[in-house]
């Protein structure tokens, strides 16, 4: 009997059934994340003066919202096209939130937008996992199932991160990704600021004789703004006479690295879909301005859930480091741009 189990296809079938059961319970878990995410969204909508029925209907209508990436066979102007699509998508989501959260303030609407984004992410994860699971079941294909099974722990980790992001996002608690704006706040708070681009503000202050222009998204709602536009505009305002652009962002760490580790590098430290990074690189190249990147390491869960203490404390070290770099690599009278990249949720100016 034992030989029969080990050396015949029966073994495979038993394994398949067993793994299927396991995947099914993961799938249940994903479903419950999604159900609870829906409930969070509906409760928030109710809080801001939307009827439960309307919220349910609206949420259902936006589920499965998608963006078709621009054609890349002819790459000319692809960034412009992508930017246009992203802007259209943003407008659509803005309209949607305004419709659902009637009485919300601007900041609260931004937070709602983030809650919706987490919800939609959970939705797509659930759909894809369910698709492969059902396909494997239907075709009795061992290899679909094995592939899914192998990736599931990672998928679950990501799904769980989104799930755990819901509460911080709805309540406006800074997340790990808010590190950039937090550094900008620490550097610029108390100085004069103005809005330089859509949802981006710029402080202006002096530090050891240098003029610092510090940009961040406009808070305390969950916004990332368009830092690319801001940097471009400021550089052009100064006729390109900017000595250095320093970008601060949170970066995904490798397993084993410590959360809150500060690292320095070269380039545009920004994880947007493309357009903002492109603008910054272009303007830096055009005027020959060095791009310095400072990142703080954290894992994906930490990046989208409430900011861990290690990351919050790293902000002070980053500020010191920036001032140090400025002192060493620029001279008095120079203009330096410092860009705090990331979601500014829970951080005002």
Pick one of 113, 119, 220, 304: the residue that binds other proteins (CB under 8 A).
220
Q: In the complex, what is the shortest distance from the CB of residue 306 to other proteins, in angstroms, rounded to a whole number?
A: 4
Of the candidates 340, 41, 294, 321, which has an alpha carbon nearest to the alpha carbon of residue 177?
A: 340
Q: In the complex, what is the shortest distance from the CB of residue 313 to other proteins, in angstroms, rounded to a whole number?
A: 8
- Among the residue ranges 52-60, 229-237, 269-277, 309-317, the one whose residues contact other proteins (CB under 8 A): 309-317
**What are the distances in angstroms from CA 77 to CA 72, 215, 226, 273?**
10, 27, 19, 15
- Among the residue ranges 77-85, 154-162, 241-249, 329-337, the one whose residues contact other proteins (CB under 8 A): 154-162
Considering the rule CB under 8 A, would residue 161 count as an interface residue with other proteins? yes
- d(Cα 62, Cα 123) in Å, to the nearest integer? 11
Task: Give the nearer residue to other proteins in terms of CB position, either 283 or 347.
Answer: 347
Q: Which residues contact 197 (CB under 8 A, 6 or more apart)?
A: 225, 226, 227, 229, 230, 233
Q: In the complex, what is the shortest distance from the CB of residue 14 to other proteins, in angstroms, rounded to a whole number?
A: 10
Of the candidates 116, 106, 142, which has an alpha carbon nearest to the alpha carbon of residue 41?
A: 116
CA atoms lying within 13 Å on the CB side of residue 67: 17
- Among the residue ranges 50-58, 139-147, 170-178, 207-215, the one whose residues contact other proteins (CB under 8 A): 170-178
- Among the residue ranges 134-142, 167-175, 204-212, 330-338, the one whose residues contact other proteins (CB under 8 A): 167-175
**Binding residues among 178-197 for other proteins as defined by CB under 8 A:** 182, 185, 189
Over the range 309-347, which residues count as b (16 or more CB within 10 Å of their CB) and which as e? ebbbebbeebbebbbebbeeebeeebbbbbbbbbbbbbb
Task: Give the nearer residue to other proteins in terms of CB position, either 188 or 227.
Answer: 188
Considering the rule CB under 8 A, would residue 260 count as an interface residue with other proteins? no
**What are the distances in angstroms from CA 175 to CA 6, 111, 119, 171?**
50, 12, 16, 11
- Among the residue ranges 34-42, 152-160, 237-245, 276-284, the one whose residues contact other proteins (CB under 8 A): 152-160
Total number of residues binding other proteins (CB under 8 A)? 36
CB of 158 within 8 A of CB of 125?
yes
Q: In the complex, what is the shortest distance from the CB of residue 298 to other proteins, in angstroms, rounded to a whole number?
A: 12
Task: Give the nearer residue to other proteins in terms of CB position, either 179 or 268.
Answer: 179
Pick one of 110, 114, 199, 305: the residue that binds other proteins (CB under 8 A).
305
- d(Cα 178, Cα 344) in Å, to the nearest integer? 5
Collapsing DSSP states into helix, strand and coil, what is residue 11? helix
Beta bridge partners of 197: 200
Pick one of 234, 250, 307, 322: the residue that binds other proteins (CB under 8 A).
307
> Per-residue contact track with other proteins, 8 to 27, x per CB under 8 A?
----------x--xx--xx-
The first and second tokens of residue 192, run together, are: 């004069």
Considering the rule CB under 8 A, would residue 29 count as an interface residue with other proteins? yes
CB of 174 within 8 A of CB of 347?
yes
- Residue ranges binding other proteins (CB under 8 A): 18, 21-22, 25-26, 28-29, 153, 156-157, 160-161, 164, 168, 171-174, 182, 185, 189, 219-220, 301, 305-309, 311-313, 346-349
């Amino acid at each position: 009997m034992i030989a029969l189990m080990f050396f015949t296809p029966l073994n495979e079938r038993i394994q398949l059934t067993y793994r299927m059961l396991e995947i099914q319970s993961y799938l249940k878990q994903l479903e419950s994340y999604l159900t609870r995410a829906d409930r969070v969204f509906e409760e928030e909508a109710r809080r801001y003066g939307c009827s439960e029925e309307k919220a349910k209907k609206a949420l259902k209508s936006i589920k499965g919202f998608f963006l078709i990436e621009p054609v890349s066979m002819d790459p000319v102007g692809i960034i412009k096209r992508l930017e246009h699509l992203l802007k259209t998508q943003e407008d659509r989501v803005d309209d949607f939130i305004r419709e659902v959260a009637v009485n919300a303030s601007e900041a609260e609407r931004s937070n709602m937008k983030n809650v919706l984004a987490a919800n939609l992410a959970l939705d797509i994860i659930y759909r894809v996992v369910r698709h492969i699971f059902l396909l494997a079941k239907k075709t009795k294909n061992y290899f679909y199932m094995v592939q899914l099974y192998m990736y599931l722990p990672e998928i679950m980790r990501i799904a769980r991160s989104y799930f755990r992001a819901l509460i911080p996002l709805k309540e406006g608690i800074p997340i790990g990704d808010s590190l950039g704006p937090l550094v900008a706040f620490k550097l610029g708070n108390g100085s004069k600021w103005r809005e330089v681009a859509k949802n981006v503000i710029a402080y202006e202050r002096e530090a050891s004789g240098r003029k610092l222009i510090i940009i961040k998204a406009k808070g305390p709602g969950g916004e990332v703004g368009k830092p690319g536009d801001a940097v471009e505009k400021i550089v052009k305002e100064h006729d390109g006479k900017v000595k250095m652009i320093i970008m601060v962002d949170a970066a995904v760490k490798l397993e084993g690295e410590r959360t809150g580790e500060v690292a320095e590098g070269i380039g545009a430290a920004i994880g947007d879909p493309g357009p903002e990074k492109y603008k910054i690189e272009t303007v830096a190249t055009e005027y020959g301005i060095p791009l310095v990147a400072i990142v703080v390491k954290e894992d994906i869960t930490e990046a989208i859930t409430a900011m861990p203490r290690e990351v919050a404390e790293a902000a002070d070290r980053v500020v010191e480091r920036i001032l140090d770099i400025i002192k060493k690599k620029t001279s008095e009278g120079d203009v330096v741009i410092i860009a705090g990249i990331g979601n500014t949720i829970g951080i005002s100016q």
